[in-house]
């Protein structure tokens, strides 16, 4: 029997994962939701695919031609579009002003509390 479900595994720096998970949590989302939506947009192609590829995989010469502020704007638009496709309005979302270590420490404490260890 062949399964119709596939699994995606990604290895990354632990601190990067903690920071990313914290941001997604603040936005009311999760890695699973975002990855599924990203794959749906990539599989569908069209304008959503082009916008994603411009943000995630710009050509080297195009990267140097686009100023950093424009790249941040493009990334924010992609984030908002993904949120909208999940039924979330993320336009009012603002990054957490705390340091990465503060966010990671809070996330660790929350996990310990959930498990009844804190």
Map residue 2 onto helix, strand or coil: coil
Higher pLDDT, 106 or 58: 106
> pLDDT digits over 11-38, tens only?
988 888 888 888 888 888 888 888 888 8
Question: What's the CA gap between 41 and 83, in Å, rounded?
Answer: 12
Global pTM reads: 0.47
3-state helix, strand, coil in the chain (%, to 5): 65, 0, 35
The values of phi and psi at residue 42, to 5°, are -65, -40
| CB-count burial class (<10 Å; 0-12, 13-18, 19+) for 58 | middle
């Amino acid at each position: 029997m062949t399964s119709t479900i596939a699994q995606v595994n990604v290895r990354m720096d632990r601190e990067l994962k903690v920071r990313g998970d914290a941001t997604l949590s603040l936005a009311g989302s999760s890695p699973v939701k975002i990855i599924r939506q990203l794959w749906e947009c990539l599989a569908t192609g069209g304008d959503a695919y082009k916008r994603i590829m411009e943000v995630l995989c710009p050509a080297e010469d195009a990267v140097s031609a686009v100023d950093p502020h424009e790249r941040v704007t493009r990334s924010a638009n992609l984030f908002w579009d993904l949120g909208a496709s999940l039924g979330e309005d993320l336009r009012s979302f603002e990054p957490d002003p705390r340091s990465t270590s503060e966010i990671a420490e809070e996330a660790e404490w929350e996990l310990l509390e959930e498990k009844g260890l804190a």
